[in-house]
Amino acid sequence: MESAVTAAVLVVHAIAILGVLLIERRQPTATLAWMLTLIFLPIAGVLIYLAIGTTRFRRISKASQSSVSRISEITQQNPVLAAVPDPLGSGTDRDPRTESMLRLGRGLSKLRASRGNAVDILVDGKATYAAMTEAIDAARDHVHIEFYIIQPDATGRRLRDQLVRRARDGITVRVLYDAVGSRSLPGDFWDPLRAAGGRAEEFLPAHNVLTRLRNRDRIDFRNHRKIIVVDGRIGFTGGINIGGEYLGLDPDIGEWRDTHLSLRGPAALNLQQVFLIDWLIATGEAVDEPSAFPDLSGSAPEGCPECIVQIVDSGPDRSWSAIEHIVDQALALAEERAWIANPYFIPSQTIQDALISAALRGVDVRLMLPARSDSLLVSLASASYFPELLEAGVRIFHYEQGFLHAKTLVIDSWVGSVGSANMDLRSFNLNFELNAFVYGATFVDELADVFLDDLARTTEYGLEQHSGVGVPLRLARAGARLLSPLL
């Protein structure tokens, strides 16, 4: 009996190793990390691999593609979206690099970039929540909300109660929240909204783990997007979730530094498309009301008329890591500056090489990270990448005034980005993410000013600091780096 069990374990072990080596298309570092895990933890390693080892959802990928096709059918029949001018190949008054970026985005995503948007940068939770509250109060038809984290604290209850009031006013309210990110929500949290006629649904419920494993659904693929769409006319996206910590009310974290965007115009319809795809995946309900895509003609907002807004969604349901590819292309095309602010930095080899190449050709490459991370393992792994970057000329800064959670990118005065994606392997490959890339000097220079304002609250980390690190810490960083593909 024991020999049969041993043989079965060896067979499963061999299959798992072959899966890592031959079937899954991974980066070599990820393959090595999984190989070592499976070799040194034969039984536990297989269980871990079954839970979080596969690189793509089978079931969710099918559901996602079906949802994308269904929403595409709906949107293609919508005259409003058909009437939105396509900036691809339609102008000579812009930076010539933009054309290649728009073509890449078209190849990676079904979403069409657009002109004619008002784009406002919202700094920190207070300004963001105020703008969201104002937009929701002014809603005339619907409010669509999607967040990774919604806390059951005063901030979360305030949003819920506002949505309850709007639902009682006859406004259609749909809320989508990640089951793991919002795991603190009690089971009855949304009862008042549902009683008022609103809807609140989980994305990828985590309770039935055995079913998820049987379907080859990784239990750690999460929806990390932050989206609000009001009446199809105004949208919000960026790095801010719903909770008191984003207002600096968590005494363990302190001040929370974050960045969000308000978008009015056709870009809001892109956010709507992403929300409706996710809603269909989660609920099986295809929203095809004409009011979801209102006629925006004759109401062009004031703001950044020359700007092109490109909404890029990415996730483990896709063949390509869309946001990673766009960021890599932007870094490759940088000529003067490439400034990145991000809370989590575990770059893929592609992004690491792009940063090094940019610095070596004389681009001003700056990386701003939090001085204190909420994950020791991530912090150790992140620091392991510093020596190569510093030697190439990348400048690294640690934000000292609270926790830096903003996820922004500034390339020259050409393109800037604000979104939900961290600069790490998990966001690029394992999470459902969304970033807005905005082309136009007006926006990019404003985002650069925000970066410089934050830079005044940083301490630069140089090679001299790294040379002073002791052997035990260096070994810890090296070990964490080896595990970084699993984080």
Which distant-in-sequence residues (6+ apart) come within 8 Å of 439 by Cβ? 94, 95, 98, 101, 307, 308, 309, 310, 414, 415
Residue from 217, 278, 405, 424 carrying the catalytic annotation:
405
Q: What is the DSSP letter of 204?
A: S
Compute CA distances 434 → 242, 323, 376, 414, 426, whole Å: 17, 8, 26, 20, 13
Residue from 142, 226, 260, 325 carrying the catalytic annotation:
226
Partnered with residue 365 across adjacent β-strands are: 338
Active site residue 407: yes
State how beta strands 364-370 and 337-341 pair. Answer: parallel
What is the residue whose two structure tokens read 């969201």? 132
Distance of CA 214 to the CA centre of its chain: 27
Q: In the numeric block, which tokens belong to residue 49?
A: 């691999």
Residue from 124, 144, 217, 224 carrying the catalytic annotation:
224
Of 167, 227, 158, whose CA–CA distance to 198 is shortest? Answer: 167
Residue from 124, 217, 231, 313 carrying the catalytic annotation:
231
Question: Exposed, middle or buried, 5 (CB in 10 Å: 0-12/13-18/19+)?
Answer: exposed
Residue from 144, 260, 325, 407 carrying the catalytic annotation:
407
Active site residue 62: no
State how beta strands 408-411 and 308-314 pair. Answer: unpaired
CA atoms of 360 and 392, how far apart (whole Å) = 6
End-to-end CA distance of the chain: 37
CB burial of 162-182 (b: ≥16 within 10 Å; e: otherwise) equals bbbebbeeebbbbbbbbbbbb
How many Cβ atoms are within 10 Å of 152's Cβ, its own excluded?
15
Residue from 258, 313, 412, 424 carrying the catalytic annotation:
412
Active site residue 224: yes
Of 382, 392, 431, 328, whose CA–CA distance to 105 is shortest? Answer: 328
Active site residue 374: no
The amino acid present at 62, given as its one-letter code, is K
- Catalytic residues, which ones? 224, 226, 231, 405, 407, 412
